[in-house]
A and B are shown apart, each in its own frame.
Chain A
């Protein structure tokens, strides 16, 4: 059994129907590879939290199988759960407990002997060491969020679920949190995170899973996804506006902007031949003088929106916002 090929989290045919009859996960397949950062993206109500809760044992699966580190979450629940750390989406804390006590509590619940040195390390990593003797209710929202992360790390999990870890955390600390996550990956921890800040996924993730209506639409290497889905646009600013496209440039996928000041060329950045060289020489032949050049690549956010809503749906979504 090669560790690279067997996923550390494997979800097969998972269905979750809540008691009210709503099916939040619909025969879903999902896996995470050891040591990767995987971003789980999906609109509100897609089933991200339900999926995480089911893997962690908080929600009961209706059918399907889940293994963590090869252990079935029901038959071998002790071993499976021992590997998992969970940062829930909601800010749920024990208000009257001291920060260091609540972190130590989490460690104990997972059967590990007290280790003040480890607790100290985690608290320092999350810039909470100064607050260790404060009651949790005395902390700000962003600090509480970090307490939840510290609690999840208290028992040295091998798989960490972060359900919107950076919601309500300021920019600077968010960057700090990304560093923590990267550090964890370097230690071999698998991190599965959800976020509505797509640029966060773009920045951090090795792979992206897109979930919608209880199904995984795709799971793909982030770079490959962006390459595959990403269209690049070359924008050529002309020193003199023109009234119409010169005949030599027609039929090459070039458009003239309305004011006649710029040419826009869309191409696939992953293609062998982008056609840029030929385009530029044709431009020179037509006697057009360029004043500026710029390129634009679609962001993960645009890719995500077009995946979840279909490419024609963009306007609708914008209107709804």
Chain B
């Protein structure tokens, strides 16, 4: 195992993050604040409580998840896309490393950034609403697992993408709808049975449910099911990446 390489990629990626940390941090904070104003205040005025939780507080986990997932994917994809785009990937391809080291470095850094942003949004939320976190350890664990598995997905997107449009397409076209339809802003059992069934096909739904449980002790599905869903999701991403490096798809001619 070439740990030095993992550390080298990780540090270089974090350095890139700190070069642009103002944009990286301010954008999500502003958009989250807007959500609180619009959803929390406007809609919250009409919906009083969901499952005994004030609506403003109910949407906090979903909002954090929305940002964390988007950020993980973005960071994970950009991290590997740029070397590919610039041609500097030759260095990674010719180094004595396996895909495990490359993934650990890039995905580790992407997940770290997303985790930092998630934490900042959590802090921002405390300015808008009162809430408590019933299970802080599992909250952190869910957050971390989400960061990692979406950064893995981002990594795949970064290798797949052949231009900037493709790079930004997936987060907008796939992730945002999945998060919105995954119960970020409502409870699944508020929906008609058909749409509740559709929601259950959405992997993001399980993450948000588990994450929300850590806050309020209320979940749409049992926490164990959420964990299994994350494990499956991570395993699928890892297998795809393993296959990519094995076959050289979009990496090696």
Among the listed B5, B12, B91, which residue makes an inter-chain contact with A101, where contact means beta carbons less than 8 Å apart?
B12
The answer to whether A58 touches B90, judged by C-beta atoms less than 8 angstroms apart, is: yes
Does B52 sit within 8 A of A, measured CB to CB?
no
- The reply to whether B8 and A109 contact each other, CB–CB distance below 8 Å, is yes
Known: A58-B93, A108-B8, A109-B95. A94 touches B86 (CB 8 A): yes
> Does A142 touch B at the CB level, under 8 Å?
no
3 smallest beta-carbon distances between A and B, as pairs: A108-B8, A92-B87, A109-B95
**A150 CB contacts on chain B under 8 angstroms:** none
Partner of A108, one of B5, B16, B87: B5
A96 to B95, CA, bound (A): 21
Interface check B23, CB cutoff 8 A: no
Residue of B nearest to A93 (CB): B88
Task: Assess whether B87 is in contact with A90, with CB atoms less than 8 Å apart.
Answer: yes
Choice from B8, B12, B253 contacting A97 with Cβ under 8 Å: B12
Across the interface, do B96 and A77 meet the contact criterion of CB distance under 8 Å?
Answer: yes
Q: Which of A73-131 contact B (CB under 8 A)?
A: 77-79, 81-82, 84, 86, 88, 90, 92-97, 101, 104-113
Q: How far is the CA of A111 from the CA of B4 in the complex (A)?
A: 5
A18 B253 Cβ-Cβ under 8 A: yes
One digit per residue, 1 when the CB lies within 8 angstroms of any chain A CB and 0 when it does not, for chain B 130-166 equals 0000000000000000000000000000000000000
A78:B90 contact, CB within 8 angstroms:
no
Residues of A within 8 A of B83 (CB): 94
Q: Which residues of A contact B (CB under 8 A)?
A: 18-19, 53, 56-60, 77-79, 81-82, 84, 86, 88, 90, 92-97, 101, 104-113, 151
A86 partner, pick from B2, B15, B90, beta carbons under 8 A: B90
Write 20 A-B pairs (CB below 8 A) sorted by A numbering.
Answer: A19-B253, A56-B93, A57-B93, A58-B90, A58-B253, A77-B96, A78-B96, A86-B94, A90-B87, A92-B87, A93-B86, A94-B88, A95-B86, A104-B8, A108-B4, A109-B92, A109-B95, A110-B96, A111-B96, A112-B4
Q: How far is the CA of A81 from the CA of B5 in the complex (A)?
A: 13
Contact A56 B94 (CB under 8 A): yes
The minimal Cβ–Cβ distance linking B226 to chain A, given in whole angstroms, is 37
Q: How far is it, in angstroms, between the C-alpha of A112 and the C-alpha of B7 when the chains are bound? A: 11
B-side interface residues, number (CB < 8 Å): 27
> Are A110 and B252 interface neighbours, CB within 8 A?
no
A3 to B3, CA, bound (A): 31
Which residues from A are CB-within-8-Å of B91? 105-106, 109, 151
Question: Is B248 close to A, CB under 8 A?
Answer: yes
Interface positions of B from 62 to 107, Cβ below 8 Å from A: 83, 86-88, 90-97
Give the shortest distance, in Å, between B252 (CB) and chain A (any CB).
5
Residues of chain B with a CB closer than 8 A to A112's CB? 4
Is B253 in contact with A111, judged by CB distance below 8 angstroms?
no
Specify which chain B residues have a CB less than 8 angstroms from the CB of A110 in the assembled complex.
Answer: 5, 95-96
Q: Which residues of A contact B253 (CB under 8 A)?
A: 18-19, 53, 58-60
Chain B, Cβ-Cβ closest to A112: B4
Kindly list chain B residues whose C-beta atoms are within 8 Å of the C-beta of A93. 86, 88
The distance from the CB of A21 to the nearest CB of chain B, in whole angstroms, is: 13
Does A113 contact B90, Cβ atoms closer than 8 Å?
A: no
Whether B19 is near chain A, meaning CB under 8 Å from some CB there, is: yes
Across-interface contacts of B90 in A (CB, < 8 A): 53, 56, 58, 86, 88, 92
Distance in Å: Cβ of A320 to nearest Cβ of chain B = 29
Which of A84, A90, A94, A111 has the largest count of B CB atoms less than 10 A from its CB?
Answer: A111
* Pair B86/A109 contact, Cβ less than 8 Å: no
Supposing A56-B94, A58-B94, A86-B90 touch, asked if A113 and B4 sit within 8 A by C-beta, the answer is yes
Return chain B residues, CB-CB under 8 Å to A78. Answer: 2, 96
Q: CA of A45 to CA of B175 in the docked complex: distance in angstroms? A: 44
Residues of B within 8 A of A59 (CB): 252-253
